[in-house]
Structure 1
Amino acid sequence: MKPHIILASASIGRKTLLQKLGVPFSIQVSAVDEDKIVTKDPYKMLALRARAKAEDVATKIIQLSNSQINTNYPIEKNTRRYTLDAKRFLIIAADSMAILGNKTFGKARDKRHAKTIVQALNGQTHDFVTGTTIIHLSSVIPGLTGNLTKKDPRFREDDKFVEINRWENISTCHMSPND
């Protein structure tokens, strides 16, 4: 039996990627405030944020299954808690940012912030890093990170770039979902 994939993210880019792959999934957004998880090492920070998001969603799923008597998912007694059948759910969580020198850039908060990100990374070679955690409710695969070094093309008009690509889709100058 294939596990049901749960994307622990509201990311348009991640959602689009799974859709393009034809992978059935559902979305359960984490309530974790990632801005409160800060370390000096951005790679470690991304791994910690991804794990916190995945664990938050796993906890929600377990609580939901415990509160529903007529659940469609088998519940198995564990020594400390009741959990869902571990073969049923695969939770994927991630956090990404760009790194330019000793500066980090996350997702744009608003149009003005998007323009600031575009201006800072415009034509610069920088790393784009994603920390990922996958939970299969019986095991955790923490701390996976992917690193992409890229140089964005130089844009002449930052305002026009932000308008055309919608600031909501600009994640450290890596546009989603039409990258």
Structure 2
Amino acid sequence: MPDSSKRPPRLILASSSPYRRELLERLRIPFDVAVPAIDETPLVGESPETTALRLAQAKARAVAAALSAGERALVIGSDQVATYDGHQIGKPGTHEKALAQLQGMRGREVLFHSALCVFDSGSGDAQAVDVVTRVRFRDLPDAALDAYLRAETPYDCAGSAKAEGLGIALLDAIESDDPTALIGLPLIALTRMLLAAGYPLLEVR
């Protein structure tokens, strides 16, 4: 009979984002998905970094709180907030709001705060980090921005530009320590956290 004590802990991605799920699948490890029910509204006077970190941790803790008593899992929470000139930029939701976002960001440098939390429901330990990506947008005319939005409809992405798709044509430069952070889940930071939590990342297949 298999020794359950030697099994790696269950991994749970606390997110409704298909982009984060696709990124986590790159690691080729088993995981479940649970959608946390939390209010993602920024608090008054809260910095973008603080917002992203707070929400990433809140998502992970909310999913962990719903686990059965005694069940150990590593719960992954993540959140992304974009900002320029002190303005926080979230998911636009509509074409009109997305166009306004891109108009405001053209020719500017935008910071994307991609926060990550790994919460161990067994020990109560939480690891959290904010990975910052600097993105410089090209100064494109309204017609080009409108055409992009209609082609890719990135209305569920903070900043209205999908760098992994046609949105790369809107960007002049990207600076980051983690190339996956801008897409929504910093895998370099995540693998570091999983290894620190004792997860046998390169042994589980």
Shift in Å, 1:44: 1.3
Q: Which moved more, 1:34-43 or 1:105-114?
A: 34-43
- Which residue of structure 2 lines up, in the alignment, with residue 172 of structure 1? 159
Q: Which has the higher contact order (CA 8 A, sep 6+)?
A: 1
Q: Does 1:54 align with 2:50?
A: no
Distance in 2, Cα, partners of 1:132 & 1:173: 21
Q: Does 1:110 align with 2:94?
A: yes
- Which residue of structure 1 lines up, in the alignment, with residue 33 of structure 2? 27
1:2/1:38 CA distance change after superposition, 3 Å? farther
Alignment of 1:152-171 (within 5 A): 152-156=137-141, 157-171=144-158
- Which residue of structure 2 lines up, in the alignment, with residue 98 of structure 1? 82
Say if 1:98 and 1:126, in contact at 8 Å, map to a contact too: yes
- The gaps in structure 1 that reach 5 residues or longer are 66-81
Aligned partner of 1:144 among 120, 126, 129: 129
Q: Percent identity?
A: 24
Q: Does 1:10 align with 2:19?
A: no
Shift in Å, 1:4: 2.3
Aligned length: 157
- The amino acid of 1:147's aligned partner reads V
Say if 1:13 and 1:176, in contact at 8 Å, map to a contact too: no
Shift in Å, 1:20: 2.8
1:44/1:170 CA distance change after superposition, 3 Å? closer
Q: TM-score, normalization: structure 1?
A: 0.77
Kindly indicate which of the two structures has a greater share of residues assigned to strand.
1
Distance in 1, Cα, partners of 2:105 & 2:86: 13
- The amino acid of 1:136's aligned partner reads D
RMSD: 2.1
Distance in 2, Cα, partners of 1:20 & 1:153: 30
Shift in Å, 1:174: 3.8
- Which residue of structure 2 lines up, in the alignment, with residue 121 of structure 1? 105
- The gaps in structure 2 that reach 5 residues or longer are 1-6, 166-182, 184-205
